Structure 1
Amino acid sequence: MSLATKPLEQVTPADIAALTGSAPDQLRIAVLSGWSAPEATIAAASLANSGGGFIVVGATVDASARVTALPGGGIAEGGLAAVAASLGPDGHHLLRSKSFDVDGKSVVLVAVDESAAPPLLAGDDGAIFRRTASGAVRVRTREELDDLVAKDRVLRERAEHAIEGMVGRVVYGHFAFMTIALVAVPRLSTAEPYHWAAANRQTLIEGSAGFARRWDLADSHIHIGAGEIEIARPEEATGFVRIARNGCVAVGQRLPRPPQERFVSPAEFSQQLAELGEMASMIYRATRPGVVVPSLLLEGVRDLRLPIDGQGGLTAPVGKDLQHVFLPERFIDSSEEAAALVRDLQVAAGEAFTADLVHGTAEPYSGPLKSDGPTPKTWHGITKRTERRLSGARGHGSAR
């Protein structure tokens, strides 16, 4: 496996030493003889806009781009952070570095992840660079710029289609059950979450202690298929995790609708949502797939209310039975990003249940419980027979 196709964690000093006398693929590898912030910024921006790659700091090349020597070189203090900042708010998520000792010389390798939202601008002048077989080139035509913008749009559409496909598999479609799930997918399609989960069955259960403990999930509940890994109990009421080969992850719970349409307290619901977010975050933090598009699915929740502890009141009834809300895109590669995902999840669910689920609190509702008018209550799991009866009750068609 060549250096250009290896993840940073698998690169060895021997891989760096093997560069001597070779001509690295300039589509994926940029070479700097020493640290230069302007050159590093251009190299990083061009790689991020064109599929990602590496910057080798401490190597010399000749006119034919062949590496002649590895004299070594370091990165100035704060230099990498400055380059990341020049790439925009996502820059610090895209750059990582590692130093290698090669024959007593320190050679630094900077890994540049592909940007899922191109184009990235290099520096303060707004220049845009992309990568070609001859290295970094500046984007100068409208056609080149349109290609980068179109890539951003296509990646977002692909992510939304992948999420919709997973939602179709997660939705239960029974009026007596409800589903609450976090469904997410990386903008850049990757099988890494699937492969990681298949190789780390024990971590998958033990690393999500809260979620696994709540639903008493064990290794025996893990089912590995050719296209998807599923963790779920055989009963209808269960917590579940689904990890597809395209990187899509669904973490949720399916349970019977509660008696008198009273769900759990705001504090308990907030904790349940936190467990969903922590489970998904564990998978994505282990695999670093880049920008992740998350969403919240609420199914079978119409008229549900949250009892407020100590007050004897209830929140307002939920208006819609089926809700699917896209959340802010995030790099889920740190504990801070994982906490932000949980907060986004709690805010979105709180809007549906009219509660502050970030803090696990709510105000009692004293307004009307039913909407005015003769329209019967319906849900998306309605049967054809009931649909015909309702049509007849409204005077539209036959009641047969």
Structure 2
Amino acid sequence: MSKDLFRKELEQLRPYVPGKPIEEVKREYGLSEIEKMASNENQLGPSPLALEYVKRALNEVNFYPESTAVELKRDLADYLGVGFDNIIVGNGAEELLSLIANTFINQGDEVVVASPSFGIYGITTSILGAKVVSVPFKVKEYDLDGMLNAINDKTKLVYLCNPNNPTGNIIKKKDMDYFFEKLPSHVVVILDEAYFEYAMSESEYPNGLDYLQKRPNTVVIRTFSKVYGLAGLRVGYLITSKEIADVMNKAKLTFNVNKLAQEAARGALRDKEHREKTLEMNAKSIEMMENFFDQMEFDYFKSYTNFIFVDVQKHSKIIFEGLMKQGVIVRPGYFWGWDNWIRVSTGTIQQTKKFTSTLYTFYL
């Protein structure tokens, strides 16, 4: 088949590789129990109130969902204190990132990203012909000056993942303030706050909505996949200026979020108890892992998320495969060019104990 059939941008595109599915690992290694600590999911499970909302909507799945998620948008507007027209709901944050690219990117535009960070930024923009300018971390932080220096007249978008995936660290408020002060006016800033709820209690963590109020060409992305435990239903949302949202809605698919997902998100948003239990479980797991890493003298990033990025002092592929054979799935850092690092999601006390005790066996 001729290569001319396909978009030329796809030739050099490296697809995003998600974590291994549990059932695949069970079959491959003949295991009955697996602890998946690779994809930053909520190990507490979904919100019970979200499940109640889903049950109520089951008898209505013969009808198309509300195309603009009106009820969910109203709930979000009230919860966030923003305008109804400033919100767009999507089929997970990934669809919203694709929507952003489809809204802004023309052939020859440039986008600036940090490295390491979420790979979907580069995929969704480069497929449309953008040049992705990647700025490596400076020691263990965003090189914000490096990102500012990478901006030119062709730069359309700058992506900041805060807290960052896969490292888990944050851009502090004073540094974010500095970045926005220096940023050229023609650039659109994408603030990916998928892990917002884990970091919001940190006094130095900046709320992206504060920057949107001052700078209309800002887009803030959040999700129901993490704290809310709805990763399998795919619900995310963005907040931006009405001017940008109006244009984005032209590119949005009509029925992009299914009825059950919309209702689950409405229930989860109301379930304060589930959020608090999730954050409590997360804090305990983080503390257990940090104590273990300190004992092992492993270097790691201070995390404001539901995962930790840690230097295990051996090639991550070896650790990844070894842990998987013993029923623990993590994310190897060689995907991001950090060969000796792994990203491990938080879990219950039992899951965290299994991870640390299993990892310890590689150093006996």
Which of the five TM-score ranges fits, normalised by the shorter chain? under 0.3
For normalisation by structure 1, the TM-score amounts to 0.24
For normalisation by structure 2, the TM-score amounts to 0.25
User: Whose strand proportion is higher, 1 or 2?
Assistant: 1
User: Whose helix proportion is higher, 1 or 2?
Assistant: 2
